[in-house]
Amino acid sequence: MVDIDMQFPLQLESDRMAFYPILGLDFTSWNRHHVQEGSKKDVSNHVNRFGANAGAGFEIRCTPTLKVFLEAKYTLVKTYPGATLAAGLAYVF
């Protein structure tokens, strides 16, 4: 899975907090293996899909170089949509 996302930080009342919408593109590739009914043959195929990401996040800057964040993102891909929730700690250069 490869995601290319853009974030647009919107500062809240404090300079230390920001809300950001997320928009992006997704490329996902699967190798699928299963056994064909009746013949017990291994039937494998490869599936590639392009999709779109949308979500939102919230960040708090603890120091000028350290921030914590929480974000939720939905990936819309034909046949295989999904959601991601992430929490993290980031160093700001």
pLDDT (tens digit, 9 = 90+) per residue, 56-80?
999 999 998 999 999 999 999 988 8
Does any domain span residue 35? no
> DSSP strand E in 1-93: where?
2-7, 10-11, 17-35, 42-63, 66-77, 82-91
Q: Which of 41, 6, 44, 9 is nearest to 25 (CA)?
A: 6
pTM: 0.76
Looking at the domain assignment, is residue 37 inside a domain?
no
User: Does pLDDT of 38 surpass 80?
Assistant: no
Is residue 39 included in any domain, yes or no?
no
Mean pLDDT of 21-36: 87
When divided into structural domains, the chain yields a total of: 1
Residue 40 is assigned to a structural domain of this protein: no
Structural domain boundaries enclosing 17:
2-30+45-91
